[in-house]
Structure 1
Amino acid sequence: MTEPKFAIGDRVRHVSMGHHGVVVAVDREHSTAHDANDLSLNPAIRSSPWYKVTLENEQGQPVDSYLSESQLDSE
């Protein structure tokens, strides 16, 4: 199990969408408690850290997302 790269309160950026946000929860591995879609994922991705992040969308509105560490970068 990998140590999380980000902590609660860290400002992050979604790698592919470019949206900025703040980490509000950290899971050491994928949790269905935060993922309403419960996507079938590669076991390596499921076992990596996951984050509940409040992102700002194109209209500047807050949107909660559940993202893997590979989808995030430091701001």
Structure 2
Amino acid sequence: MTEPKFAIGDRVRHVSMGHHGVIVAVDREHSAAHDTNDLSLNPAIRANPWYKVTLEDERGQPVDTYLSESQLDSE
């Protein structure tokens, strides 16, 4: 298990979508409790840090999502 790169309150950017957001919760590994999409990922990805993030959508509206560390970058 790796140490999380981000902490609660950190501003981040979704790598592929470019949306900006803020970390609101940190899990050291994937948690089904936060995953409303019930993602079936390989164990290596599930073992890395995951984050509950509030992002702004294309209209500037807040959207809560659950993302792996590999999907996020520092702002």
TM surpasses 0.5 = yes
2:37 equivalent in structure 1? 37
Q: CA RMSD in A?
A: 0.4
Secondary structure of the structure 1 residue equivalent to 2:44: helix
**Superposed displacement of residue 40, structure 1:** 0.8
After TM superposition, list the pairs within 5 Å mapping 1:1-75 onto structure 2: 1-75=1-75
Give structure 1 stretches of 5+ with no counterpart.
Answer: none
Q: Please, what TM-score do these two structures have when normalized by structure 1?
A: 0.99
What CA distance in whole angstroms lies between the structure 1 residues aligned with 2:16 and 2:32? 23
What CA distance in whole angstroms lies between the structure 2 residues aligned with 1:3 and 1:38? 23
The percent identity for this pair of structures is: 89
**Superposed displacement of residue 36, structure 1:** 1.1
After superposition, give the CA deviation of every residue in 1:13-59 in whole Å (9 maximum; x if it has no partner). 00000000000000000001100121110100000000000000000
Ranges of 4+ aligned residues in structure 1 off by more than 6 Å? none
Paired residues, what number?
Answer: 75
Q: Please, what TM-score do these two structures have when normalized by structure 2?
A: 0.99
